[in-house]
Structure 1
Amino acid sequence: MIAKTKLSEIVTLWKEDKRQYVKRSTFSAYTLLIENHILPSFGNKTLIEEQNVQSFVFQELDKGLSHKTIKDILIVLKMILRFGVKNKLIEYRQIDIKFPTERDKHSIDILSRSHHRQIMEYIQSHFTFKNLGIYICLSAGMRIGEICALTWEDLDIENGIIHVQKTIQRIYIIEDNRKHTEIILDTPKTKNSIREIPMTRDLLKMIRPLKKVVNDRFYVLTNEATPTEPRTYRNYYKQFMQTLGLPAMKFHGLRHSFATRCIESKCDYKTVSVLLGHSNISTTLNLYVHPNLEQKKRCMEQMSKLLR
């Protein structure tokens, strides 16, 4: 006999079980989606069918949520439902959701080569530890949490390597009906994100004299024992771009710019993927490999030569 249990009750049991197996940051992300989307729409239901979920998708799209965010919500919802079915708390229902075709192409923020060069030259003549973080990101393509977590001991000048092995992030926590956020130092996003990135000659030239006088345990961005958090550093970066009179661009655009320069330099895609810490090469290809018209013309000419 399958019980008719409210989804909100299943969520409570699922969370108790799930927190044993995932990182705190992952659990926090799940909790945020549950609180903001799943419980308000499905919390009181004892049976969830495909039509309910399909209606939810259209409703969230109308609110302006992206396809990716909605798909993330559905991943969590399906995990909860599978848990409920397995424990005989809810009836099984096949759910196959369709999304409208996305007509608009999502562009990514990328610095032009001249702006890329302008920033790096400015930092070389206007050194601060916070500016150094921007320089490192443009030279190594690191994520903002990885930059904030970087300590001097992670910069190996003997071998010219940056060791990326931790990240800082603010996570959302609910404990005994009390909601708050907390900053945590954790391992990077995925196992592929733990990586070694060779320093460029210019970056190594900048780091080498600093390593003689800094405390290895201090954080690079603050040169103190305590780090700065991503939100604070984003605000600094925004002011930095305004100071240079450059167009507003998300901090993540620095990482995109690094990757784009690598591709433009004819680096092989697998190497770029490993440098970025992507979990698979298809992520790199989908984001950065978009042939321009000249490349397409060259391809067509090569193909037609083969047939002559």
Structure 2
Amino acid sequence: MARKKRKDNKGRILKQGEYQRSNGMYRYKFIDMSGQEKVIYSKSLIELREKEEEIKRLKFEGVNYSNISLNAWFYEYMESCKKEKLKDQTYTRYCQYWDWYVKDKVGKMKIKDIKRMNIIKMYTDYLNGKNGIKLSIGTLKYINNLLNSAFSYAVANDIILKNPCTNIMNEFCKDNQKNKIALTQKQQQQFINYIANSTDTRIKVYEPLFIVALGTGLRIGELLALTWNDVDFKKNIISVSKTIYYQPQQDRKRVQKISTPKTKNAVRTVPLLPEVKKALKKQKKQQFKLSIPRNVEIDGHSNFIFTTMNGTPYISDAINAVIKRIVKGRNAKEVERAKAERREPELIPNFTAHIMRHTFCTRMCENDLNVKTIQMIMGHGDITTTMNIYTHVTEEKKQLEMHKLYNIKIS
């Protein structure tokens, strides 16, 4: 769903970077060619846009791109090549990651002066947690995708001769690459059983959500965007047609927004398994019992399934925090129990909401569902993603079956 356009007090649609203050003054925020954020003001929108055009003329006419900063180049690249092609939440996410992790590092350097060693040092510092920020290899890959695209665009425009990010992640992934590890069937049951048997209502309230997550494989944004209108108890299906995300605002606050899913393949129907159906009915009773409002509206959608007490959908960060708290509490009790029983504890590994999606996909592969069917249920845009999981599971099953060969007598 398209982002709601911001308007001034006369109902006129404002462009990207334009904003009207409460006193009626207009403001335009932009990035200059040195990569610095600048702001101009005007009493009228017409005058403001005249100034904008002058800025663009000075910015792009006769500029010596060989001296342009990486920050300025990235923002220009995003504005001219990506803005109209990406979903709002994706565009925002790209810019956020750049501002968080690149802007004040190599972003300040002139693009022509950036060498491979500068990128390697920045990545190494992040992996080691230098300066108080420690990032995972997955986050570094995300950042590298942004850098790689910006540098490739610079190469294509003859600004630089070589892309310093080419194959750079090979130097980090050899030792740090970790496959997404799905929960085993036993770990999955231990996780749900701990929640079901908990006397802490702050934990127990999430039981339906986690059962639905583990029984549908929905992405966390898709799961939290579900409304009761998406569930058909008679046909036993869930319709997936939207996702929820946080959209930063001009005042630096964030609001929840609804959009279409990640890819066209993500618009799909998912079978409603018996346990999932039971969990959803339990959630409906729980909402009624707690008198949770169902009229909270986000971009025309309301009647959300998984919400806070005030009726607004949960946010993904909160769900990941809950998972972490549950795993920590469950493992602490297991350590005590194992000590009393004089055995090694069976601990559940730390995981995120996305691992629940991976776990569901793994369960389907273990049960030998058709690969194409798995792809459709998961909403994978590329069947390669499905095949990678299927092949991994098949290989593990083969290794287990191979042990049976040891019982075969040759002579």
Is 1:111 the counterpart of 2:183? The answer is yes
Give the counterpart letter for 1:137 in structure 2.
A
- Whether the 8 Å contact between 1:164 and 1:195 is mirrored in structure 2 is yes
Aligned equivalent of 2:259? 186
Alpha-carbon distance, 1:160 to partner: 0.8
Structure having the higher Rg? 2
Tell me which of 319, 322, 326 is aligned to 1:236.
322
Give the Cα–Cα distance (whole angstroms) in 1 for the partners of residues 89 and 194 of structure 2: 35
1:226 aligns with 2:296: no
Q: In terms of mean alpha carbon deviation, does 185-194 or 60-69 score higher?
A: 60-69
The farther-off stretch of 9-18 and 62-71 is 62-71
Which residue number corresponds to residue 25 of structure 2? none
Confirm or deny that 1:13 pairs with 2:73: no
Post-superposition shift, 1:297? 7.4
Q: Distance in 2 between matches of 1:42 and 1:209?
A: 50
Question: Which residue among 276, 289, 292 is the counterpart of 1:203?
Answer: 276
- Farther-moved stretch of structure 1 (280-289 vs 186-195): 280-289
Equivalent runs, 1:249-268 vs 2, <5 Å: 249-268=351-370
Alignment match, 1:44: 109
| 2:146 counterpart letter in structure 1 | V
Letter of the structure 1 residue corresponding to residue 303 of structure 2: F
Change (3 A) 1:11 1:146: same
Q: Distance in 2 between matches of 1:243 and 1:290?
A: 30
SS in structure 2 at match of 1:103? helix
**CA shift digits 1:262-288 (9 cap, x unpaired):** 122122233223222222122233345
Greater relative contact order (Cα < 8 A, sep 6+) = 1
CA distance in 1, matches of 2:396, 2:155: 52
Task: Indicate how the Cα distance of structure 1 residues 157 and 122 shifts in structure 2: closer, same or farther if over 3 A, else same.
Answer: farther
Aligned counterparts of 2:363 and 2:210: Cα–Cα separation in 1: 16
Cα distance, 1:86 vs. partner?
6.2
Residue 63 of structure 1 is matched in structure 2 by 126
Q: Secondary structure at the match of 2:112?
A: coil
Query: Which of 72, 89, 92 matches 1:25?
Result: 89
Match of 2:221 in 1: 145
Give, in whole Å, the separation in 2 of the partners of 1:241 and 1:97: 36
Equivalent residue number for residue 280 of structure 1: 382
Pair 1:295-2:398 in alignment: yes
State how far apart, in whole Å, the 1-side matches of 2:324 and 2:125 are: 30
Residues 230-275 of structure 1 show CA distances to partners (whole Å, capped at 9, x for unaligned) of 2223333444445655734323332222222212212223322322
Q: Contact (CA 8 Å) 2:239, 2:268: kept in 1 or not?
A: yes
Letter in 1 for 2:178: H
Letter in 1 for 2:321: N
> Using the alignment, how far apart are the partners of 1:69 and 1:253 within structure 2?
16
Q: Is 1:72 paired with 2:135?
A: no
Confirm or deny that 1:35 pairs with 2:99. yes
Q: What amino acid is the match of 1:60?
A: Y
Distance (Å, rounded) in 1 between the aligned partners of 2:397 and 2:284: 45
Unaligned 5+ runs, structure 1: 303-308
* TM-score (normalizing by structure 1): 0.76
What SS class does the counterpart of residue 15 from structure 1 fall into?
helix
Q: 1:105 to 1:230 in 2, by over 3 A?
A: closer
Give the root-mean-square deviation of aligned CA atoms: 3.8
Task: Indicate if the aligned counterparts of 1:154 and 1:164 stay in contact, CA closer than 8 A.
Answer: yes
Corresponding residue SS for 1:236: helix
Cα distance in 2 for partners of 1:252, 1:71 equals 17
Q: In structure 1, what is the Cα distance between the partners aligned to 2:228 and 2:79?
A: 38
Question: Cα deviation per residue 1:176-225 (whole Å; 9 max; x = unaligned)?
Answer: xx755443222222222222100112323454687799769411113875
**What is the alpha-carbon distance in structure 1 between the residues aligned to residue 283 and residue 65 of structure 2?**
65
Counterpart contact for 1:167–1:185, Cα < 8 Å: yes
Deviation, 1:146, is: 1.7
Residues 1:271 and 2:271 aligned together: no
Task: Give the secondary structure class of the aligned counterpart of 2:206.
Answer: helix
CA contact under 8 A between 1:111 and 1:254: conserved in structure 2? yes
Q: What SS does structure 2 have at the residue aligned with 1:267?
A: coil
Output the amino acid matched with 1:226.
T
Measured in 1, the distance between the counterparts of 2:153 and 2:177 equals 36
Letter in structure 2 aligned against 1:260: T
